[in-house]
Chains A and B, each alone.
Chain A
């Protein structure tokens, strides 16, 4: 039996609301994941993209990654298959990738890597892992000049067709890729792969694979039984559909598979608390937490230093907002429709000015004088 550990979207180096997540990520990789690996003993780990959060990743993130990969090789001797995602810099991620292949670390950063699948075998199973990193549509158009590629779906279709004849039914074919598959749920912290472009890929294109390890969406979910997003190991947004994260284990035995999810216990949870300040602080006093908290106050009046007050009980309070912030700000705001627009009513403006600023109401004499002035201006 061969075990594949599927994870993705680590986003090493990410900050949420200004708070660096490096410690949580370090906890995940060096504690949680290592424990899982010790327990489950997977043969291969696939990381389906977005290893780092930025192309120019911070130093501590790179160091964390370096340590982890080294440990995978030296201590656990498991193969690691990594594809670059839209957040990664493919060139930087794949430094020395050719040398690393010999050490069982396969880092894929270009389309042509698809044609060098990774073999993982045992006596009964023969797994072929195909890797397709995130790519620029232009690269696909250049590579397949004759094909009419306009969208990511067109590109995937052409690329997968190019290897379809190499897929053997006797093998357990796995595809590791980083894209947005139609029908999946996403949250707003998952940056669209291309700003202004169309990115959906139909799941039917993957029908010839036995398992598709997807990356990009942070919510763990299955598109189909054999097409899955492992999801990010940590929550990176308070808008996530769920704060429950997991990794996926695929057990392959004689070319049949069994899939299971292992929930992740993060260093800190993400929580959203909503309510009036007085209620929130009471709750905090009763139950202080060190989770990452986002508090939405519903008070209509400004609260003095709510952040400072609440941080006493929620030291990791990283975001606070007030639903009624607009009302708070616009208490004295005056919206006058008749002031706006080219067809604004000068008489109404003047009348309102008299009423609100001068304290004069219903003075016909003043309005009459104003009308005369208006008439003089119009004559001009």
Chain B
């Protein structure tokens, strides 16, 4: 595990947000955490432990203890630890905030616990929520719980010294917690429970067996078996008695049943005779009725003949009625045809009117079309004429435009010319002024020169020795003149440049006017060629343009007219077709009308009687029908009478025969039963009843006894089975019990060496730790000392064998640990710490926790021991471990370059700075 960063706020000694960035230590494997007492050095280590486990180093202090009390309630307590382990970066964060509930103002504490793993661009949440969940995640990642972490990573030196000097029982307690050997206690507890359970089972089985014996009033299994045999014998005997009673009872019962049956038969016979008599009376009546019905059957033929006559009359009358109906139908049809004919005639007339109208429209449209078509011939000529007029018009416009321009430019030209003249005047004035000034200057220079001239000395200009104007006075101020001259020169130059510009402008206007005049002449000649004045051109152009517009519109309408004519033609054709269809329909209807009239005439002349109406015929038919119906009813009645009487006769006969037969069989039965009784005496019914009751009582009591015996035997059988099973089970459980007890005793230390298994494991663990520690201690002591475990017997509590002694090569013998000097003790406890750390890490699944922090311990050392200690730490650095040392010893400050310094500023604020 390699720490990367720690953040703390309102935690321990730190009120403000403090960030300790271990990356600033760079490649320094050993660093010092230094500061004055109480500055907060150990708090840095507490922060690491707290972020992981929500407990400070040692697992004792919680939130309450770690919150900085000087900060206000609204400041959050925060601790965050970022570290690298096995190439993964983890962040553990915990915070606590005080919150006042709105309304009640109750003080609530809200905690936040979370841990993350750093991926490439994001943080992935591993656990969050309760402190336990995050703690469990820390234990999972690091493989150490809080206590182990405190002992293995944070090495509080005082504690290791104590561990070195502690007795076996104390060491056992510490190692148990570190190496999680509690499970051996669990084995012993489970074994004890198991032994106890097995013992209980044995006791339960034994008591069950005793209960069975007491319930059966026996003392052992043999007595139980004897009892069972006796009961079985008694049961057999009772069964035989029951059988005997049963037989007697059944025999008597059957006799009793027979007597009852005889009485029943006699009753039956009496009843059957009475029934027979009744049925015979019914039979006589039905026979008479049947004979009557047969007599009536002879009237049927005459009735049938009457029926025939009536039927023929009815059919004749129906035929006449049919003809009447036919005539009616024909008349209806004729009227229908006539209506249709009228309808078609009307339609035909309408269509013919429409057709005439369409023909007229077509003619009109054609006329307009012809007119518009004639325009096509003249439109091109008209178009050319208009173009020509437009051209002449534009030429006239150009002329007036050019003329305007010429006038404008001439005005401008004149004004520029005036400017030029005035400039010339100004220039002349300036030049004359300049001349004047030059004259004055000249005069000044001359006068100056004259001043210099001396009698009979040559002039510096001309060399003459004669100076006529030698007494000329100096005049003027040359500086002023020079200034005036230069100003005037500047002004002159300006004016000249302006003058030149205006001259150029004048020339340009001249050229422009000339060009415009030439254009004007040219266009005028062109217009004259056309020989048409402007107002005429304007008027003609307007007329011709209007004409052209009108013609164009007409021409544009030609296609629409053509389309319209086409549609009208089509419509006309449709009308013609419809008219033809209607005409043919009219023809067909006329033919039909003639046919119907002819048919009607034939029927009227040939098939109808003359003096009778259709209603009379109908009445006659109805009368005949009623008569016919009466005859039918009569026939039906006769037949049904015959059938009914016959069925009644048959039924009566059958019933009589049946009852007769039954009576005979009952009589036979009576005879048979009487015969069976003739062999023995028939006694009184009461006798049989009394006897039966006696037998029943005897039988019931026998059965009851048998049932009780059976229950007893069954119970005894079950008891025997249970007892046998209990004995077998008890034997098995006793075996298990003895085996488990033996193992328990061994594990508890009841063995040859009187060492419980837990102590054995701890002693092996301790040997490993000491072996690992000796790697360091032998080196630190330059081969003089090594620590080993003392072999001793156990104390009363079963602890022993964990005491440590030191082998001193100088004396060739072991010594007690407390006989070592202070410095040697320090080295021994340091070695033990490293050894323990190595072993715990190996036990944690070979997770490399390659950082270690040593909290104080150097303060009490003398100079030479400090040197040894520093040499020791150097060696540890060479083993690839990062070592952080908390110490205020100044020697260490000088020797260790990389430092984390905790200071307090003038404002009493804690500051952590990293020096590498």
Contact = CB atoms under 8 A, between A and B. Distances in A.
Whether chains A and B associate is yes
B28 A197 contact: yes
Contacts of B870: 191, 195
A376 B746 contact: no
Contacts of B877: 195-196
Contact of A339 (B186, B755, B761, B891): B761
Contacts of B183: 346, 377
Given A326-B786, A336-B764, A346-B183, A302 B807 contact: yes
Contact of B810 (A138, A195, A306, A336): A306
Given A334-B764, A358-B746, A342 B843 contact: yes
B888 interface: no
Given A303-B812, A321-B783, A357-B755, A333 B845 contact: no
Given A340-B839, A358-B746, A369 B752 contact: no
Given A305-B812, A340-B839, A332 B791 contact: yes
B31 interface: yes
A340 B28 contact: no
Contacts, number: 176
Interface in A309-361: 319-323, 325-326, 328-330, 332-336, 339-343, 346, 349-350, 353-354, 356-360
A326 B812 contact: no
Given A359-B751, A373-B187, A195 B896 contact: yes
A55 B891 contact: yes
A350 to B, nearest CB: 7
Contacts of B418: none
Contacts of B788: 329-330, 333
A17 interface: yes
Nearest to B806: A329
Contact of B30 (A138, A195, A358): A195
A340 B786 contact: no
Nearest to A58: B863
B29 interface: yes
B284 interface: no
Interface in A1-25: 15, 17-18
A18 B845 contact: no
Given A196-B877, A304-B812, A328 B807 contact: yes
Given A357-B753, A357-B760, A307 B811 contact: yes
A366 interface: yes
A343 B180 CA distance: 12
B746 A195 contact: no
Interface of B is mostly: helix
Contact of B782 (A15, A192, A321): A321
A329 B778 CA distance: 11
A280 interface: no
Contacts of B173: none
A110 interface: no
Contact of A366 (B742, B782, B842): B742
Interface stretch (B242-250, B421-429, B477-485, B767-775): B767-775
A118 interface: no
B309 interface: no
Interface string B8-43: 000000000000000000011111000000000000
Given A339-B765, A340-B768, A302 B845 contact: no
Given A196-B28, A196-B896, A366-B743, A306 B809 contact: yes
B190 interface: yes
A349 B187 CA distance: 13
A353 B813 CA distance: 29
B844 interface: yes
A333 B28 CA distance: 38
A358 B898 contact: no
A354 B756 CA distance: 11
A55 B894 contact: yes
Given A55-B891, A194-B897, A373 B194 contact: yes
B675 to A, nearest CB: 87
B190 A377 contact: yes
Nearest to B179: A340
Contacts of A321: 778, 782-784, 809
B187 A377 contact: yes
B753 A330 contact: no
| Most chain B C-beta atoms within 10 Å of own C-beta, residue among A303, A353, A366 | A353
A268 interface: no
Contact of B778 (A192, A197, A325, A368): A325
A326 B787 CA distance: 9
A366 B746 contact: yes
Contacts of A322: 783, 809
B783 A302 contact: no
Contacts of B898: 196-197
A325 B771 CA distance: 11
A335 B897 contact: no
A146 interface: no
A369 B809 contact: no
A297 B783 CA distance: 10
A296 interface: yes
A146 B740 CA distance: 81
Interface string B813-826: 10000000000000
A342 B143 contact: yes
Interface string B521-543: 00000000000000000000000
B314 interface: no
B107 interface: no
Contacts of B752: 357-359
B649 to A, nearest CB: 97
A333 B753 CA distance: 16
Contact of B740 (A305, A335, A369): A369
9 contacts: A307-B811, A320-B809, A326-B771, A343-B845, A346-B187, A353-B761, A357-B753, A368-B739, A370-B187
Interface of B: 27-31, 143, 183, 186-187, 190-191, 194, 739-740, 742-743, 746-747, 751-753, 755, 757, 760-761, 763-765, 767-768, 770-771, 774, 778, 782-784, 786-789, 791, 807, 809-813, 839, 842-845, 863-864, 870-871, 873-874, 877, 891, 894-898, 915
Interface of A: 15, 17-18, 54-56, 136-138, 191-192, 194-198, 296-297, 302-308, 319-323, 325-326, 328-330, 332-336, 339-343, 346, 349-350, 353-354, 356-360, 365-366, 368-370, 372-374, 376-377
